[in-house]
Amino acid sequence: QVLKPQRPAPYSGAIDADACINFIDNQKEYYTVVKLGLAEWVQYTALNLIDDAKSWWRSSGLTIHTPWNDFETDFLTFHTPPNAVAAAREALESLQQGKRSVALYTHEFRRLLRRVPTLDKGTALHWYIKGLERDTSKEVKLRQCTTLESAITQASLIHSILYPNGPTIAPKH
């Protein structure tokens, strides 16, 4: 028996950075799983636009023969608020773990990071470590992580050792 993946939900046209990025990513994942040729991605995505998104499509000047990269750029440009990248950059730079678990902090960090695709990896790594709880941040720095993924792995491990009863319980000395 062949499993059929669930089709991505249609997009109604919200001007929302996370929603439009998620829509595009879901479309790409679906087309990859069902092995749809890249040349057909735009026409099938156009069928998945409804309401305001369909109005945008019809007035965009794009056609079903538009290359996917051009469609994706125009779609994201239109459906992302003008200040979304700057706001995400500011939020990333000042994001703090606080009393959250590393997992929740990391989730929020990654959500914001998706909005700033041009952010260099070194800056992202620096901001991630800087925003960790003080003791966890210090220990991650000592391990000299060179990638965001390694810093996340180390932060999760270190924080679970320092705070075995959860993120809000101080370690016993």
Task: Please list the pLDDT of the chain residue by residue as tens digits (173 residues).
Answer: 778 888 999 999 999 999 999 999 999 999 999 999 999 999 999 999 999 999 999 999 999 999 999 999 999 999 999 899 899 999 999 999 998 999 999 999 999 999 898 899 999 999 999 999 999 999 999 999 999 999 999 999 999 999 888 765 454 55
Q: Which pLDDT belongs to residue 4? A: 84
Q: What is the pLDDT of residue 173?
A: 53
- With contact defined as beta carbons under 8 Å apart, do 155 and 100 qualify? no
- Inter-residue long-range contacts of 66-69, CB under 8 Å, 24+ positions, other chains counted: 66/42, 67/42, 68/38, 68/41, 68/42
Is the pTM here over 0.95, yes or no? no
